[in-house]
A = this chain, B = another copy of it.
Amino acid sequence: MSSYELPLRLFLAFRVLIDELHAELARQGHPDIRPMHGFVLQAIGAHGTTAVELGRTLGVSKQAAGKTIETLERLGYVERGVDPRDSRRKIVRISSKGYDALAKSARIFDRLRQGWAERLGEERLQALESDLRKVTPQDVWRLDVPGWFGA
């Protein structure tokens, strides 16, 4: 096929996962969560963060990060509190609803991955994951912080 196939298929593969995730999340009580909110919650992390910090992590301006936080707060996925040691900072923390969404997302992603493993074979899927790691930047934003999914 065309030179466009590889990038397009990568994008479509991503979209397939994200679309199924959100259809399923909607069924499981999170109809208003938007694609990427899960990734933002991941980026916020278990210890909380601030707008400036989140902006740096995600590679956007602090104002953009602030708007996203505002949206997530309005939807109830994060809560904001003050930093007792620095009254300029407002700590953003994942709420219990946020943890619920994260836990459900993780389970759904695992199930979707299982579906792929059945279609491609676990071996081939592991090869695919390994190859993707080789062509993408390492150390994206620490995805393996322990204790993220418990609530």
Interface footprint category on A: 35 or more
Q: Is B143 a contact of A109 with CB atoms below 8 Å?
A: no
Any chain B CB within 8 A of the CB of A17? Answer: yes
The answer on a CB contact under 8 Å between A120 and B135 is: yes
A143 touches B2 (CB 8 A): yes
How far in angstroms is the closest Cβ of chain B from A38? 7
Chain A 102-151 residues near chain B, CB threshold 8 A:
105-107, 109-110, 113, 116, 119-120, 124-125, 127-129, 131-137, 140, 143-144, 148
Give the residues in chain B near A8, CB-CB below 8 Å. 39, 140, 143
Q: Which residues of A contact B (CB under 8 A)?
A: 1-18, 21, 38-39, 42, 105-107, 109-110, 113, 116, 119-120, 124-125, 127-129, 131-137, 140, 143-144, 148
